[in-house]
Amino acid sequence: MEMRNKVYSVGQNATFYCIMRVNTSDGLLHINQTDNIEWTFTPVGSTASQPIMTPGVSDSPGPTPDPMTTPDDASENTGESGFHDSPKYVRQFWRDLTIRNVRASDAGTYTCRHTQYNMATSAQLYVIGMA
């Protein structure tokens, strides 16, 4: 698995790409399954991870609350592959995570984990500019 650190300015949209490969007898196989991918965020200076997107939320009766949004945020929409998009986080393609309107509080570690293969990779988001 592979993810790269990113540097963005306040107000930009930041995107992480989670690239997953598994060794098979036929060589490296790209994992294209999104049903088993979860994203977490650990803020700078913290050791506690916060869930951003969890697999299988489309099977629940309603949207999964997003701990990173406030009650005043717009309603959530179900995104592709059964994930609920929030005003802050969105999946625009099968394995990526976009953080909208980056703020200084978004700086930290973002982790992509494939639950079926129990593989994970992380990268840092660095935010520059005034908040």
Q: Is residue 62 part of a domain?
A: yes
Q: Is residue 36 part of a domain?
A: yes
* CB 6 within 8 Å of CB 16: yes
Range(s) of the domain holding residue 22: 6-128
Band the pLDDT of 30: cuts 50, 70, 90.
low
- The per-residue pLDDT for 91 is 77
Q: Is residue 1 part of a domain?
A: no
Q: Is residue 51 part of a domain?
A: yes
Alpha carbons within 13 angstroms on the beta-carbon side of residue 106 total 28
Structural domain total, the chain: 1
Which CATH number characterizes residue 97's domain? 2.60.40.10
Average pLDDT over the chain, rounded to an integer: 74
* CB 11 within 8 Å of CB 131: no
pLDDT tens-digit profile of 45-100? 999 999 998 876 543 333 333 333 333 333 333 344 334 456 888 876 667 899 99
